[in-house]
């Protein structure tokens, strides 16, 4: 085993200072580094190293040495990290084969490495290949347990153009109509440029939280990740879907949840001509219909379907009874409202409680045009055994919680409580879970607020 010692702090400081006029050879790279690559640019030579400890690469470290061609001046970018408490003589206790077995998929490479930190660890870094790209599994070389799984895929931001959340709510314009998907039906001011984050860099609308699964020849593609289209283009709905799903998941994660449908949710926006959209739990896929206003032109419809995906991710086969199914539809509507809340004005013309204002211009004549509302006065006694109708009882209760506690707190309570629902839960039982969750998360005052919302609907 090759034993190496890290350079001292003094050594690092001396090296980091510019060494004007001194030939490059006078300032060699410090010990404890392994040269990865040398690049020649117009002005300098660039040496890239990885930090080593006892001959093993230290994960996440870097060290670069830039030598000016003309002056020999050396500048350093020092990204070395702490390796604490690790014996330089340590050796793996589990074999490479066991490490590969702990990772999933065919292994591309297996290397002993050092996971840095105050108490650093000797590990195997196992690179495997898979449908979602390569993965690096870090396996403890002493215990054999998987410490973490990383995706080496680079995440890129792109640019997109979307309706936000839809032209009717955005422009306060109830008179807009579809006009057979023509561009001229919607004024330019309804289009917004947005950042499309978390793209996987493949040039398609796929990334950490959303994956377009339209047939290959019908997928938007851009080498520069620029996805700017008007509504006539089928690609516009794909951009809406990617943006809508990605922003929803980012919001969920901002609330602290790392395991609520945290995956590239599959979504398809062409080929289904009905004026309807659906989430299919058997394949975990959302399909957006194109009848009337293309459903994916209205972010609130995307968010409703994403709501189903959320619940199915939290409770397998959620919604297997009329009451649970009603809760499912209600949550989708409410989730659409929660996502729209920061994007649209809540006015008498376009109330926030009115869901899918744009999609619904094709099949409603009353104004405001709404698929459904989350502010009806329906109570538990008004149930008719139809999930979309009965759901309005539940969504009104959730709306009251939102009004009283605000967006973040209400969303946190609702998402957390849904983890403890069952596929066939009753409204009364689900309400009690939600009250208990509010109590556990935020205390008695919030629990009382939540209870009052459900009591007002006659649910408890």
The least distance separating Zn ion from the CB of residue 281, rounded to whole angstroms, comes to 12
User: 103 and 139 in contact (C-beta within 8 Å)?
Assistant: yes
Q: What's the rounded Cα separation, in Å, for the pair 445 and 442?
A: 8
The least distance separating Zn ion from the CB of residue 458, rounded to whole angstroms, comes to 23
Residue 58 is given by DSSP the state: E
User: 344 and 326 in contact (C-beta within 8 Å)?
Assistant: no
Total length of the chain: 460
Residue 339 corresponds to which tokens in the numbers above? 């996502």
Instruction: Return the residue matching tokens 């408490």.
Output: 85
Q: Which is nearer to Zn ion, 158 or 292 (CB)?
A: 292
Contact positions toward Zn ion, by CB under 5 A? 329, 332
The least distance separating Zn ion from the CB of residue 368, rounded to whole angstroms, comes to 20
The least distance separating Zn ion from the CB of residue 386, rounded to whole angstroms, comes to 12
The least distance separating Zn ion from the CB of residue 423, rounded to whole angstroms, comes to 16
The least distance separating Zn ion from the CB of residue 332, rounded to whole angstroms, comes to 5
Q: Which is nearer to Zn ion, 73 or 373 (CB)?
A: 373
Q: What's the rounded Cα separation, in Å, for the pair 196 and 207?
A: 10
Instruction: Using alpha carbons, list the distances in angstroms from residue 41 to 44, 45, 49, 370.
Output: 5, 6, 17, 60
Q: Which is nearer to Zn ion, 200 or 329 (CB)?
A: 329
Task: Decide: residue 443, CB within 10 A, 0-12 exposed, 13-18 middle, 19+ buried.
Answer: exposed
The least distance separating Zn ion from the CB of residue 165, rounded to whole angstroms, comes to 17
Q: What is the dihedral of CA 190, 192, 197, 201, to 10 degrees?
A: 100
User: 424 and 321 in contact (C-beta within 8 Å)?
Assistant: yes
The least distance separating Zn ion from the CB of residue 333, rounded to whole angstroms, comes to 8
DSSP 39-104: EE-SSEEEEEEEEEETTEEETT-EEEEEEETTT--EEEEEE---B-S--TT---SS-HHHHHHHS-
Residue 182 corresponds to which tokens in the numbers above? 């023509």
User: 367 and 182 in contact (C-beta within 8 Å)?
Assistant: no
The least distance separating Zn ion from the CB of residue 307, rounded to whole angstroms, comes to 7
Q: Which is nearer to Zn ion, 182 or 317 (CB)?
A: 317
Q: What's the rounded Cα separation, in Å, for the pair 350 and 313?
A: 32
The least distance separating Zn ion from the CB of residue 381, rounded to whole angstroms, comes to 23
User: 261 and 313 in contact (C-beta within 8 Å)?
Assistant: yes
Residue 262 corresponds to which tokens in the numbers above? 């945290």
Residue 29 is given by DSSP the state: P
Instruction: Return the residue matching tokens 């680079």.
Output: 154
Q: What's the rounded Cα separation, in Å, for the pair 74 and 76?
A: 7
First to last CA, the chain: 69
Q: Which is nearer to Zn ion, 279 or 380 (CB)?
A: 279
Q: Sign of dihedral through CA atoms 236, 237, 238, 244?
A: positive
The least distance separating Zn ion from the CB of residue 262, rounded to whole angstroms, comes to 21
Q: Which is nearer to Zn ion, 57 or 329 (CB)?
A: 329
DSSP H or E stretch at residue 68 = strand 62-68
Cα 69-72-73 angle, rounded to 5 deg: 110
The least distance separating Zn ion from the CB of residue 282, rounded to whole angstroms, comes to 16
DSSP H or E stretch at residue 121 = strand 121-128
């Amino acid at each position: 085993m090759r034993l190496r010692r890290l350079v001292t702090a003094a050594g690092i400081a001396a090296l980091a200072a510019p060494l004007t006029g001194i030939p490059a050879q006078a300032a060699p790279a410090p010990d404890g580094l392994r040269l990865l690559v040398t690049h020649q640019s117009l002005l300098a030579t660039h040496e890239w190293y990885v930090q080593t400890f006892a001959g093993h690469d230290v994960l996440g470290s870097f060290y670069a040495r830039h030598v000016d061609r003309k002056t020999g001046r050396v500048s350093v970018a020092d990204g070395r990290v702490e390796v604490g408490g690790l014996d330089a003589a340590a050796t793996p206790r589990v074999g490479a084969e066991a490490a590969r077995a702990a990772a999933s998929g065919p292994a591309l490479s297996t290397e002993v490495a050092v996971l840095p930190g105050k108490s650093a660890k000797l590990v195997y870094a196992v690179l495997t290949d898979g449908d979602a790209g390569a993965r690096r599994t870090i396996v403890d070389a002493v215990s054999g347990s998987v410490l973490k799984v990383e995706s080496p895929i680079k995440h890129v931001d792109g640019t997109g153009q979307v309706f936000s959340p839809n032209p009717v709510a955005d422009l306060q314009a109830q008179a807009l109509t579809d006009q057979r998907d023509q561009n001229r039906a919607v004024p330019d001011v309804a289009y917004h440029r947005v950042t499309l984050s978390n793209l996987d860099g493949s040039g398609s609308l796929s990334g950490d939280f959303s994956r377009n699964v339209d047939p290959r020849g019908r997928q938007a593609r851009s080498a520069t990740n620029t996805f700017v289209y008007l509504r006539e283009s089928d690609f516009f709905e794909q951009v809406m879907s990617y943006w809508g799903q990605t922003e929803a998941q980012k919001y969920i994660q901002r609330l602290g949840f790392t395991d609520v449908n945290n995956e590239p949710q599959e979504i398809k926006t062409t080929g289904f001509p009905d004026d309807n959209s659906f989430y299919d739990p058997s394949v975990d896929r959302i399909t957006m219909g194109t009848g009337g206003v293309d459903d994916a032109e209205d972010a609130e419809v995307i968010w409703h379907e994403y709501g189903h995906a959320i619940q199915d991710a939290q409770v397998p086969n959620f919604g297997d009874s009329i009451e649970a199914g009603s809760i499912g539809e209600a949550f989708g509507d409410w989730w659409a409202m929660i996502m729209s809340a920061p994007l649209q004005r809540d006015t008498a013309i376009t109330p926030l409680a009115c869901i899918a204002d744009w999609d619904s211009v094709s099949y409603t004549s009353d104004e405001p045009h709404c698929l459904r509302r989350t502010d009806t006065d329906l109570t538990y006694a008004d149930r008719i055994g139809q999930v979309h109708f009965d759901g309005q009882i539940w969504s009104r209760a959730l709306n009251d919680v939102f009004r009283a506690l605000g967006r973040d707190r209400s969303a946190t309570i609702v998402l957390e409580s849904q983890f403890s629902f069952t596929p066939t839960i009753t409204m009364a039982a689900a309400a009690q879970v939600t009250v208990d969750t509010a109590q556990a998360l935020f205390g008695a005052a919030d629990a009382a607020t939540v209870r009052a919302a459900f009591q007002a609907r006659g649910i408890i």
